[in-house]
Amino acid sequence: MTILSLNEGQLVEFAKRIELTGTQLLEGLHQSKRGGQGLEFHSTLPYSEGEDARFIDWRRFASSDKYFVRYYEREEKTSWSILIDHSKSMTYGNKSKWARDFAGTLLFLAKVWGDRFQLFPLENMPLEECFQALLQQKAGWAADASLPAWAPMRGDRCVVISDFFWDASLLEKMKMEYQSIASQLVLVQVLDPREQSFDFRYPQEFRDLESSDRLILDPKAIRRRYQQALQELKTNLPKGLLHPSFYMSVLSEGEDMQKQLFHFFENVT
């Protein structure tokens, strides 16, 4: 695994971006009948310097001329186990960055809600160290013939983020093993828009990011077979998932992260 160097500025920038997405999402979840299920208004407390201004209770400010911040909490605590695939195929386009932002926001929300969380291969690590591991690519697992020596926290949610360009037998093994531990297994498939549409128009040199094999091909000659194979993969991913586990597919560019996360929380129990 390649470990990237990291300075404090990069960590702060990443944390701010995650906090912005997470706090905006919290407000939307609270207003949603489905996505905000179990998310309740808790209290208002006096505003302290440095707190997020988006949660200021402006109605109370209008009546008191003092700043207060609205806090929300969930009725039931849970746990989150997050596994990111850092295979070389995930370096194509912005898939790796998208996976880091998605996982980082889930971790931030877990921290805000007081939920337990773990980010493979880290255990019992504070949020800042998880952020560092995400940015330095120290978190995750390169999908190979065997599952990682890791188990989700028993009884709650296990989230796997990948393009799932795996051997079919490995995917089935993961479904069986993780669903026997976690109450909900969530497969989040992230694709680059070019992988989705295969919109290449001229002869291209295609390189297998896993093996570095190279082929020069006419996209028109293989587009139909490629799209059939991709559709078969997307059809097979949800198979074998026991309720309430589920699968969602997203693109690493286009629809914004907040909307994708909102869809995610509308489906997790």
Range list for CATH 3.40.50 in the chain: 79-267
Place of tokens 């286009």: 254
- Answer whether residue 215 shows pLDDT above 70: yes
Q: Is the pTM of this model over 0.85?
A: no
Q: Please give the share of the chain, as a percent, with pLDDT higher than 90.
A: 47
| Rounded Cα distance, 250 and 263, in Å | 10
- Considering the segment(s) 79-267 as one domain, its CATH architecture is 3-Layer(aba) Sandwich (3.40)
Residues 92-130: pLDDT tens digits? Answer: 999 999 999 999 999 998 888 888 999 999 988 999 999
CA–CA dist 137, 82 (Å, integer): 14
